[in-house]
Amino acid sequence: MNRKKTTILTLHEKKLRGEPITMVTAYDYPSALAVDRAGIDTLLVGDSLGMVVLGYDSTTPVTMEEMLHHCRAVRRGVPANGPWLIGDMPFMSYQADRAEAVRNAGRFLREGGMDAVKLEGGRAMVDTVRAITDAGVMVVGHIGLTPQSAAQLGGYRVQGKTAADAQRLLEDALALEAAGAVMLVLEMVPDRVAARISRALRIPTIGIGAGIGCDGQVLVLHDMLGIFDRFTPKFVKKYAELGPEMERALAEYRDDVAARRFPDTEHSFLMDEAEWEKWVGGLGIGD
């Protein structure tokens, strides 16, 4: 595909033109290749990898080292003119100490090859967003349902359902934009609330369970491809069922090996007949 490099300006221009921005998560080299080849605008190395790739019960155990390991794999799969890359700052890599937050954000660019970082939280994160931005790292905000603090929110629940909560979300969004955030993820927010916030902001909003009125959409790769089946949120549309397909292929392989149908001649290396005769005849050891 003949593409120009995706930059934050490209994405802001898309918002101005009213063109939806596409984003998906990916965590390794082959999925990064697929995301690039599909022409998706931006790729998020989300801390959701803790659940869908590493098998944790939530995103909170994910470490900086785990995130950077996956960011590097993704970077290797994406050419210079590929999607804009966002690294997700894991739990406690930015909440406790502002200087540490800046250092960790820098590691996503320097060691992980990312173009920007994402962090969760509204007004409480404003000073952190400003500090990271001032250090020269672009920040994507994330409000609504914030999985790292889901327990505090009473679980995985829609946020902004009352007029007061919706107003709070709008104020959080405006505060993050004023602090320098270049983009904002809205997760599990009623569609009309997300649309109103999107209109109020100059920066693009990316919705996940936030309706059609956002400036773009993001889904978790393993949810949309049907690989992760522990639970499927209402907002996920499955575009494939690769989990069952992987299991079918593995069972067929197991049966082929057990029945000695694999490897067949097509998948074996053959020896020239004359060489074979020379070898077994010459040595006199037969076959």
Q: Which of 35, 139, 176, 208 binds ligand KIV (CB under 6 A)?
A: 208
Please identify, among the stretches 46-54, 107-115, 236-244, 245-253, the one whose residues bind ligand KIV according to the rule CB under 6 A. 46-54
H or E element at residue 60: none
**Distance between terminal CA atoms of the chain?**
54
CA angle 276, 281, 286 (to 5 degrees): 90
Active-site residue identified among 187, 241, 273, 275? 187
How far, in Å, CA of 192 to CA of 210, rounded? 8
Residues 48-77 that bind ligand KIV (CB under 6 A): 48
Cα 87 from Cα 110, distance rounded (Å): 12
Residues binding ligand KIV: number (CB under 6 A): 11
Closest residue to ligand KIV using C-beta atoms: 46
Told to judge if 187 belongs to the known catalytic residues of this protein, a careful annotator would answer: yes
By the rule CB under 6 A, 205 interacts with ligand KIV: no
Q: Which of 43, 102, 201, 220 binds ligand KIV (CB under 6 A)?
A: 220
CB 146 within 8 A of CB 176: no
CA atoms within 13 A on the CB side of 187: 22
Residue type, 209: G
- Shortest Å, Cβ 141 to ligand KIV: 11
Using CB under 6 A as the binding rule, the residues of this chain from 161 to 190 that contact ligand KIV are: 185
Binding site for ligand KIV (CB under 6 A): 25, 44, 46-48, 88, 142, 185, 208, 218, 220
Positions marked active-site: 187
